[in-house]
Amino acid sequence: MEPAVSLAVCALLFLLWVRVKGLEFVLIHQRWVFVCLFLLPLSLIFDIYYYVRAWVVFRLSSAPRLHGQRVRDIQKQVREWKEQGSKTFMCTGRPGWLTVSLRVGKYKKTHKNIMINLMDILEVDTKKQIVRVEPLVTMGQVTALLTSIGWTLPVLPELDDLTVGGLIMGTGIESSSHKYGLFQHICTAYELVLADGSFVRCTPSENSDLFYAVPWSCGTLGFLVAAEIRIIPAKKYIKLRFEPVRGLEAICDKFTRESQRPENHFVEGLLYSLDEAVIMTGVMTDEAEPSKLNNIGSYYKPWFFKHVENYLKANKGGLEYIPLRHYYHRHTRSIFWELQDIIPFGNNPIFRYLFGWMVPPKISLLKLTQGETLRKLYEQHHVVQDMLVPMKCLSQAVHTFHNDIHVYPIWLCPFILPSQPGLVHPKGDEAELYVDIGAYGEPRVKHFEARSCMRQLEKFVRSVHGFQMLYADCYMSREEFWEMFDGSLYHRLREQLGCQDAFPEVYDKICKAARH
């Protein structure tokens, strides 16, 4: 048969199938059809556009010249809002569907949207070891530029599309956080436009209250217009050790010990059941044994979490050399393990070789096209949560996750939490080792009910002086929220800076009622 005729027959059969099953059924239960046919090509076009744009802007050095003008434009918008009587709160004008968080804030429709068109890397100063960036710069942009000139961020959150603004105003973490802390702890200065339209720069020694209050405030103290972030020299590879461990106590012991060893640049754990895990430790190196080189980020390679699982199945440790950028974005192609629910055959070698170069679909486009029915289904039958708890409570926390939601794999990422003022700090006066427990997927617990199960989990996290990441669904009441987070500095600054009439309180932005 002629190729055109075969194509036409296939298209006809497909349309017939959609007609018989109904469009809604196909969109909900066979989402891969829509994702593979439409979202993957669209995502690719999106990515190419942003990559080329960032490259051209940086090459022409036009960003630093235009930055001042762009900031003045934001100040002008804020002053106009004030002159018009400050009728509603303000928020950033970035559409909700463009963010990585799976939720879309309802407030975008009712608040005054301030357009912040700041998406460029402004300056790399290798002498001071600082990169100055605008808030919409993404992690993909940062690694593409910095690693090409031999530098990197000490903490480089995993997904390509995460933005500097979102990681500072929300949270950012990576497997090097046991050494360097959260994303906010590698930042040395923030530049903001405040509620009165004024511009301010803050550092640990200059306007330090504001500097410590900004992280996790979700844009409720001002608009971030630039940030300075530490950089460190990069090496070509990560020498990564994989070690399967069995028994929860042995897992917790091993994971804690590895997180305390300063010679480990990277520590990560993937928990595949209550008592089976693979713990990975990595160091940066310029040398690699060619036979152990693994370009894990290449489109035809197996998904990272599946590759790691093979070590568990074989019950044998291993050593690999992974190119730095491939390591940083190792969970990007499978969006951790979220993509297996959308494209169930996505890790099949045939799919990977034929279409893997288009994967993953952009989270923003997935959100934009999910529709109300699918959104509600996701809410009731899907969990995306990161809970940060003291490392000493890891075993108790894993048991609680197991009983309340039962989602595997679970992501374990250690981090050091310095004792600093602000919304998030340890209970005592000293830095404390914490762990981020990430649960993404379909809960297998019997009779899962999102609200009650999540409230139970939140209660546990509060009881051990832990924190919930604010991008996720939060079912806490206002009182419970302020029991979890230290609002003393935050509330004082909101009053001082006139934020109460300009921005909602952080709880009102992130609580369940505020989001679709």
Ligand X SMILES: Cc1cc2nc3c(=O)[nH]c(=O)nc-3n(C[C@H](O)[C@H](O)[C@H](O)COP(=O)(O)OP(=O)(O)OC[C@H]3O[C@@H](n4cnc5c(N)ncnc54)[C@H](O)[C@@H]3O)c2cc1C
Binding site for ligand X (CB under 6 A): 92, 94, 99-102, 116, 135, 157-159, 162-163, 165-167, 169-173, 218-219, 223-224, 335, 338, 384, 469, 471, 509
| Beta carbon nearer to ligand X, 32 or 223 | 223
Give the Cα separation of 253 and 260 in Å (integer): 11
Closer to ligand X by CB, 89 or 311: give it.
89
Query: Of 287, 293, 361, 290, whose CA–CA distance to 327 is shortest?
Result: 293
Nearer to ligand X, 26 or 359 (CB): 359
Report the residue number whose CB is nearest to ligand X.
166
**What are the residue ranges of helices labelled H in 121-193?**
139-148, 164-169, 177-180
Question: What is the nearest approach in angstroms of ligand X to the Cβ of residue 453?
Answer: 18
Q: Is 148 exposed, middle or buried (0-12, 13-18, 19+ CB in 10 A)?
A: exposed
Place of tokens 């055959």: 345
Min dist CB 169 to ligand X, Å, is 3
Report in angstroms how near the CB of residue 373 gets to ligand X at its nearest.
20
26 versus 383: smaller Cβ distance to ligand X: 383
Q: Which is nearer to ligand X, 108 or 292 (CB)?
A: 108
Q: How far is the CB of 155 from ligand X (least distance, A)?
A: 8
CA distance 266 to 431: 19
Closest distance of CB 123 from ligand X, Å: 18
User: What residues contact 3, with CB distance under 8 A and at least 6 apart?
Assistant: none
Which residues, 6 or more positions from 485, have their beta carbon under 8 angstroms from its beta carbon?
A: 216, 423, 424, 467
- Pick between residue 170 and residue 302 the one whose CB is nearest to ligand X: 170
**Shortest distance, position 386 Cβ to ligand X, whole Å:** 7
At its nearest, how many Å lie between ligand X and the CB of residue 224?
4
Residue among 40 and 118 whose Cβ is closer to ligand X: 118
What minimum distance in Å lies between the beta carbon of 164 and ligand X? Answer: 8
CB of 233 to ligand X, least distance (A): 22
Instruction: Classify residue 377 as left (phi > 0), alpha (psi -120 to 50) or beta.
Output: alpha
Please tell me what DSSP assigns to residue 296. T
Q: Which residues of 76-100 are buried (b: 16+ CB within 10 A; e: fewer)?
A: ebbeebbeeeeebbbbbebebbbbb
- Structure tokens, 90: 């303000």
- In angstroms, give the least distance from the CB of 341 to ligand X: 12
Q: Exposed (0-12), middle (13-18) or buried (19+): which is 74, by Cβ within 10 Å?
A: buried
Length of the chain: 516
Minimal distance, residue 97 CB to ligand X, in Å: 11
Peptide bond preceding 360 in cis form (omega within 30 of 0)? yes
Query: 201, 189 in Cβ contact below 8 A?
Result: yes
Contact 157, 102 (CB under 8 A): no
Smaller CB separation from ligand X, 191 or 320: 191
Q: Which is nearer to ligand X, 145 or 226 (CB)?
A: 226
Q: How many CB atoms lie within 10 A of CB 401?
A: 25
In the complex, what is the shortest distance from the CB of residue 501 to ligand X, in angstroms, rounded to a whole number? 17
Of 165 and 356, nearer to ligand X (C-beta) is 165
For residue 366, give every residue at least 6 positions away whose Cβ sits within 8 Å of its Cβ, in sequence order, or none.
Answer: 35, 39, 342
Return the number of the residue (121 or 384) whose C-beta is nearest ligand X.
Answer: 384
**CA-angle at 3, arms to 46 and 42, nearest 5°:** 10
Residue 393 one-letter amino acid: C
Rounded alpha-carbon distances, angstroms, from residue 472 to 353, 475, 481: 33, 10, 13
How far apart CA 222 and CA 135 sit, in angstroms, is: 13
Contact yes or no for 514/471 (Cβ under 8 A):
no
279 or 472: CB nearest ligand X:
472
Q: Which is nearer to ligand X, 92 or 147 (CB)?
A: 92
- Is residue 327 within a helix (H) or strand (E), and if so which, with residue range? helix 324-328
How near is the Cβ of 405 to ligand X at its closest, in Å? 16
